[in-house]
Structure 1
Amino acid sequence: MCIKHKLLIMRNIYLSAFVLLVYTNHLYANEPSELGFLYKQVIDAPKNKSYNDAIIKVIEVKDKYKDDLQSQFAINQPLTTLYSYVGQYEKAISFPTDDPLITEDLIESLFPISAVDKILTMSKETQIVMINEAHHIALHRTLTTSLLQKLWSSGYRYLAIETLSKRDVDINIRGYAIERSGTYSNEPVYAEMIRTAKKLGYKIITYDDSSGNEREKVAAKKIYNASFSINKNAKVIIHCGYSHILEKNLKDKRIWLANELANITGVNPLTISQTNLMESKTLEFENPIYNKILKKFNPKNPIILTDNLGTVWSTMPGQHDVDVIWPRTTYTNTRPDWYIKNYDLISFEGKWCRDKYPCIIEIRREHELNAVPFDRLRIEQKPNEKIVLRLPSHKSIIFGFNEHGEQVFKGPTKNH
C-alpha cells in the first residue's frame, strides 16, 4: 500500500484521537517512524502550543518524499491543516492536497447567483442541509456561519459537526469550543462558527467518533437519535468534510453519510460542495474550470451557477446537489480580507514575541481564556511590513508564545 493510501486511512481515523496510536503502530510498522505521527502533530499541537515544532516535523517528512508526488499530496494534508490553525492562510492554500477534479466545461450557458440566497431557497424543500469543507480551508466555515441566522429563521435547530469529540460533554452548556472540544475546532474560524450557533440557540450534535467501515452508518444513527427521533419534523445542518456529502458514490461501493442519512430518515438532503472548485497558490492543481468561472463572472462573494430554468450546476451530478465557488482571496497587512473585514484590528508589536522568532500570537476573550482563541498567528521572522490581528467585541488579552510553545508575553489589548 502506497504512503498516500495509508495516510488517507489515517486521516479518516485521527478525529477519534483515542484510537490514533493503535492504528499508527499497525499502519506504519514498515514505514519511517515520522510518517505514523504526521496527524498526531495536528492533534497534539493545540494541547501544548507546539505549532511551530509540529510544522517543522511535518516539513522534515515532506522533504524526504520530495520526489514522490502522491506522497506529497498526503503529507500536505496535515501540513496545510497546521498552517490553517496558526493563521497562515496563504501557506495553507499553497500546497496541493490531491489531483484536481477535472469536470466537463458547461459553464457557457450558465449564470451566477448568490450562493447564500440560493441555498436558503433550496433549504426550504428539505430538513437536512449538508455543507462540506476542505479541512485546511478556514474560509469554508464562513459559509455555514453566514447561513446560521437565516436557517434558524426557517426552523433549523440542530448543527451536527464532524470534528467534535465526545470528550467535550459540556459544549452545549458552555456555548463555545475549548481545546479538547475537537480537532479542527481549534482553528479560530471553526470555533467562531460554533460560538455563533450556540448564541443563536442551536443544539450542537457530536457524531463522528467511530472509524472504519461503520463510520458513516454510526454517524447517521447518532445524528438521527439526537434530532429526528425526538422530533420527526426536526431540521438539521451538518458541517462535514469532503465526501461525506455524497448521496451516491460512483467511484466505489462505499456509502457516505448523506446516503446513510437519507436511508434512515427518508429525507433527501441538500448537499453542498465547496471542495471541487477551490483556489490554490499552485495553479496547476486547481480545477481549470475554477479560473474560467472567475474570469467569466468576476464574483465578489460566493456564487452558485444555474441555468435559465433555475436548475443548479454540480461538478458531480447525481452525487451532490450543488457547488459553491468562492472568489480568490485578497490580502491586507498579510491577512485575508474575508478574515479581518468587519473587525477591529490591532497591529503586531515585536515585544509580544520578545523579538525572537518564530513565535505564535493569540488573542483571547478576557473572561473566556479557556476558549479557542479569537485569532492566532504564527510569525516566522521579524516582520518588515505591518501585520494585524483581529479583535473580538469584548475585552481581550494578547498572549505570545516562543517557538517551543512557552508563554513569553501576556497583556491587555490597548483599545479594549
Structure 2
Amino acid sequence: MLWAMKDAAKTVKGALVAMGAIALSACITSEPARVTFGPKMPIVDAADTSLPIRYDLRIPDRDAAYRTSIFEQLYAGLGREDLTAATSDEYRPASCAPHPSNVSGEQAVLDAIVDAAENARIVIVNESHVVSRHRNFTAELAARLEPLGFTHFAAETFSNPTDGVPPVLESVGLPYPRDVDGHYSSEPAFGRLLRTVKRLGYIPVPYEDNVQRDRSAPVAQQIAWREAFQAQALADALAEAGPDARMLVHVGYSHARETPIGFSDGREDLWMAARLRDLTGIDPLTISQYQCREESGPIRLAGNGPDAPEGAFDFVIAHPVTRFEGQRPTWRAEAGDLRVSVPAPLIPTQGAHVVEARLSGEPEAAVPMDRVLIFPGETVDLLLPAGNYELRAVQAMMD
C-alpha cells in the first residue's frame, strides 16, 4: 500500500515544484517579499473547531513534574517555546567535546551527513519534542537526501490507528499536512517539515506502537514493548517498499540510539534503532540533535554527549541554544521568516487566544504556517514566509 502511493506523491511533487517556480518568478519581478492578511479575522471557540483538543490548556491534576512536562510540550506546540524555556533544561547549554573533524556550519554539517548516507538505506534522526529548530534541520536533511534516492519518510508522530487507514496516508495527495495526521506534526515547524517531504515526493510511513498494553507493567517493560513494535513496523514497511526503497526516519530522543540503555534494576535493553538493525541486517545511519547545545555560534558536529557512550549515534549535532525576540525563536527570522505583529483585534483581553495563520485557500484542517498562544497584555509576533494568509483566533479552553 505504501509503495502504491508513490504516483500520488509524485503528482503532488510536480504541482508544488511548479508553484515554487511561479513564486520564484514573482520574487524576481515584483515588489519586495511581504506578508498580507485577508480581510476576515474571526475569533472562534475551541469547541467550534475541527480539533478542540489542540486548544485545551487544561492539565490533569497530577504531580508537579508531570504537569511541568505536559505544559512544556503544550506551550512549544502552540508556538511559545519562550514559555517552555522557562522550565526546560533543553534550552540551556550542554556543551560536548568537538567532533574530531571540527565540522561547523549547517551546510558543512549536512555535507558530512550526506556523504556518510551515500550507501545507507536507513537514516534515523532524532529531535527534542519541544525544540522546533530540530524539525527545520530534518527538513534540510530530507531535501539533501532525496537526490540520493531516499523515497520514504517515517515519523513517530504519525497517528497509527489499529483499524482504518492512518490519517497521513489519507492525505498523501494534499500539498499540506493536516492537524489530524499526528500529534507533534501539528506544530507549524513540523508542519513545514511535512510540506517539504510532500514537495519532494517522499512516501509517509506511520509506525508508532498502537497496541493497548498493561499500564501497570514496569517502565522498562513498557519501553521494550514499544521499541520492539516500532522496529518491526519499520522493518515490515521497508520490506513492503522493495529493495530500492531508502528511508528517512524522524524520531524522538533515544529511539535513534544504537547502544543499549541501562535500567535501575541492572537490566539492559535495546532502543528502536538497534532493534531495527538486528531485524533487517541494515546498519542505520543515526543522528542525534538533542544531547548537545552551545551557548552561541553555528551548528557543529560534536562527540557523543554525556548521556550516551561512544557508538550510541553515528553523528551528534550541537545546535546553538534557542534565543527569543518578540517571544519567538530568533532562528526562524534568520532562516527567512518575516516578523509580523498580531493584529490588535485578535489579542485577548481575558483568557487566551491561539492565533493561526494559514495560506489563503487552505482549509481549517491544514496545519497553519504559524500558530501562537497569546495571553492578555502580551506582544507576540507571527513568523511567516512571504505570502497572503487568512488569520483566526481560537479561544483556548482553560481551568
Category of TM-score, reference length = shorter chain? 0.7 to 0.9
Report deviation, 1:78: 1.4
Report deviation, 1:394: 4.4
Q: Which of 359, 375, 378 is equivalent to 1:365?
A: 359
Give the SS at the match of 2:283: coil
Is the Cα contact below 8 Å between 2:292 and 2:318 reproduced in 1?
Answer: yes
1:270 maps to which residue? Answer: 285
Give the SS at the match of 2:320: coil
Give the SS at the match of 2:114: helix
Q: What is the TM-score with the length of structure 2 in the denominator?
A: 0.72
Change over 3 Å in CA distance of 1:78–1:107 after alignment to 2: same
Report deviation, 1:272: 0.9
AA of the residue aligned to 2:157: T
- Over residues 319-365 of structure 1, what are the superposed CA-to-partner deviations in whole Å (9 max), with x where a residue is unaligned? 22221111122333222121234123431122113644522111112
2:123 maps to which residue? Answer: 129
AA of the residue aligned to 2:147: S
1:239 maps to which residue? Answer: 250
Change over 3 Å in CA distance of 1:46–1:248 after alignment to 2: farther
Change over 3 Å in CA distance of 1:46–1:256 after alignment to 2: farther
2:229 maps to which residue? Answer: 218
Is the Cα contact below 8 Å between 1:52 and 1:358 reproduced in 2?
Answer: no
Report deviation, 1:110: 6.7
C-alpha distance in 1, partners of 2:276/2:54?
38
Gapped regions of structure 2 (runs ≥ 5): 1-48, 161-165, 212-221
1:193 maps to which residue? Answer: 193
- Over residues 84-132 of structure 1, what are the superposed CA-to-partner deviations in whole Å (9 max), with x where a residue is unaligned? 111111122222369x9999x7549773433222211211142111111
Aligned length: 320
Q: What is the TM-score with the length of structure 1 in the denominator?
A: 0.69
CA RMSD of aligned residues (A): 2.8
Report deviation, 1:155: 1.2
- Aligned residue runs from structure 1 range 286-301, under 5 A: 290=294, 294=295, 298-300=296-298
2:304 maps to which residue? Answer: 314
- Whether 1:141 aligns to 2:135 is yes
1:120 maps to which residue? Answer: 114
C-alpha distance in 1, partners of 2:384/2:375?
21
Gapped regions of structure 1 (runs ≥ 5): 1-44, 66-71, 279-289, 306-312, 406-416
Report deviation, 1:221: 2.7
Q: Which of 366, 372, 380 is equivalent to 1:377?
A: 372
1:47 maps to which residue? Answer: 51
1:40 maps to which residue? Answer: none
C-alpha distance in 2, partners of 1:125/1:373?
36
Change over 3 Å in CA distance of 1:95–1:210 after alignment to 2: same
Give the SS at the match of 1:81: helix
**Identical counterparts, % of pairs:** 24
1:283 maps to which residue? Answer: none
Is the Cα contact below 8 Å between 1:158 and 1:204 reproduced in 2?
Answer: yes
Q: Which of 238, 250, 255 is equivalent to 2:270?
A: 255
AA of the residue aligned to 1:358: A
AA of the residue aligned to 1:314: N
AA of the residue aligned to 2:115: T
